[in-house]
Amino acid sequence: MTSAPVAGAFAATVARDRRRAKRKAAWRRRGLVLGLLSPWIVGFSVFFVYPLVTSAYLSLTHYDLLSTPRWVGLANYRFMFEDDQLVWPAIKNTLWLMVFYVPAQVLFAFGVALMLTRARRGVGVFRTIFYLPALVPTVAGTLGFVYLLNPATGPVNIALSHLGINGPLWFHSPQWSKPSLTLLGLWGIGNMMIIFLAALVDVSRQLYESAELDGAGPLQRMRWVTLPSISPVILFTLVIGVIDSLQYFTQAYVAASIAVGQSASQSAENLGYPENSTLFYPVLLYQQGFRYFNMGYASAMAMVLLAVALGVTLVILRSSRLWVFYQGARR
């Protein structure tokens, strides 16, 4: 009768060993996850968390990179909203992008994709042609458009004059500079178009057929079948568009500096040409931070940008519950 306790002790050791092995395996797994993620953990901390925290601190200081930051409390924010003559134009310009530029892009990309789905022949060729401008490097596209829309000698105004139309000053006119940038933006909708195209092709045939049987015309089918089916993609393109509009920089910077005809890097004063009409928020932030080296003030601007970016994204995502339909279930 001594075997029972022995067996029990044996079972206990086995169980303990197994637990130990399990714990060891768990540690090994944790080690593996940590190892795989370690570059990203460092990158995330150094290039995201640390800058966010430091930005918040610097926004409360006066800092020019050379001397140590000097605490000024909320002075930067107060200056921004009360004294800076350029902040409001910059905010208005960026708002213009959100209200006109982004919806125009989304609508146009959707329209082009819709046209493509109706084509019988040459879909591949047309798709390639519509996608191609999206590949053109931003600086090259902007230079091209400043030339094309050159008021006196550009091909567009020459063509317009043949039609008896006196073309506008485009990039040289405060009224037309943002529409000119919008034309450039519409030219490069290739990526959005591909995403819409993929979504449109995925819309279920049966839904169309049953809608048609119920007597729905083309417009009704668009309203009650197509739009609900692709609403997640509309949401996606809107979010991406709004985020892009908050960091809209290169086109405005290059267009202004080329149009004004001075070196792009030498003079900061030409940013926003003409008459601050292309001075978008990120352009002003760049000017304050890296031309005038008002690092504290630029940080304050960055903090406001952070709040706006988070706010706008949240609002869009929240409101999406009202109009985005996911396949199968209404969320």
Partner 1 sequence: MSTAVVEARRVAQRKPPASARRRRFLLVVADHSLLIAAAIMFLAPFIFIALTAVMTNEQALSPKLWPEPFRWSNFVDVFRTAPVWRYALNTMLYAGLATIGVLVSSIPAAYAFSRLRWRGRDVAFVATLLVLMLPVQVTIVPVYVLFAKLHLVGSLWPLILPNFLGDAFSIFLLRQFFMTIPEEYADAARVDGCGELRVLVSVFLRLAKPAIAAVALFEFLYCFNDFFGPLLYTSENSSHWTLSLGLAQFRTVYQVQWNLTMAATLLFMAPVIIVFFLAQRAFVEGVTLTGVKG
Is residue 99 close enough to count as binding partner 1 by CB under 8 A? no
Is residue 199 close enough to count as binding partner 1 by CB under 8 A? yes
Q: Which amino acid does the sequence have at 193?
A: M
- Name the residue nearer to partner 1 (CB basis): 272 or 289: 289
Instruction: Name the CA dihedral angle for 184, 186, 187, 193, rounded to a multiple of 10 degrees.
Output: 150
Residue 71, beta-bridge partner list: 61
Is residue 143 close enough to count as binding partner 1 by CB under 8 A? yes
- Name the residue nearer to partner 1 (CB basis): 44 or 81: 44
| Measured distance CA(245)–CA(206) in Å, rounded | 38
CB neighbour list of residue 123: distance below 8 Å, 6 or more residues apart: 116
DSSP of 74-135, one letter per residue?
Answer: THHHHHHHHT-TTHHHHHHHHHHIIIIIHHHHHHHHHHHHHHHHH--S-HHHHHHHHHHHHH
The pattern of x and - marking residues 249 through 278 that bind partner 1 according to CB under 8 A reads xx--xx--xx--xxxxx-------------
Place of tokens 């290039």: 47
User: Structure tokens of 331?
Assistant: 């969320």
| Measured distance CA(221)–CA(212) in Å, rounded | 8
Q: How many residues does the chain have?
A: 331
Is residue 51 close enough to count as binding partner 1 by CB under 8 A? yes
- Name the residue nearer to partner 1 (CB basis): 225 or 301: 301
Q: Tell me the closest approach of the beta carbon of residue 213 to partner 1, in angstroms.
A: 18
Are 177 and 171 in contact by the 8 Å Cβ rule? The answer is yes
Q: Tell me the closest approach of the beta carbon of residue 164 to partner 1, in angstroms.
A: 14
Q: Tell me the closest approach of the beta carbon of residue 63 to partner 1, in angstroms.
A: 8
Q: Which amino acid does the sequence have at 230?
A: I
Q: Tell me the closest approach of the beta carbon of residue 1 to partner 1, in angstroms.
A: 43
Sites for partner 1 among residues 299-328 (CB under 8 A): 299, 302-303, 305-306, 309-310, 313
- State which of residues 139, 160, 216, 227 lies at the interface with partner 1 (CB under 8 A): 139
The pattern of x and - marking residues 152 through 191 that bind partner 1 according to CB under 8 A reads -x-x--xx-x-------------------------x---x
- State which of residues 216, 243, 268, 325 lies at the interface with partner 1 (CB under 8 A): 243
Sites for partner 1 among residues 113-132 (CB under 8 A): 115-116, 118-122, 126, 128-132
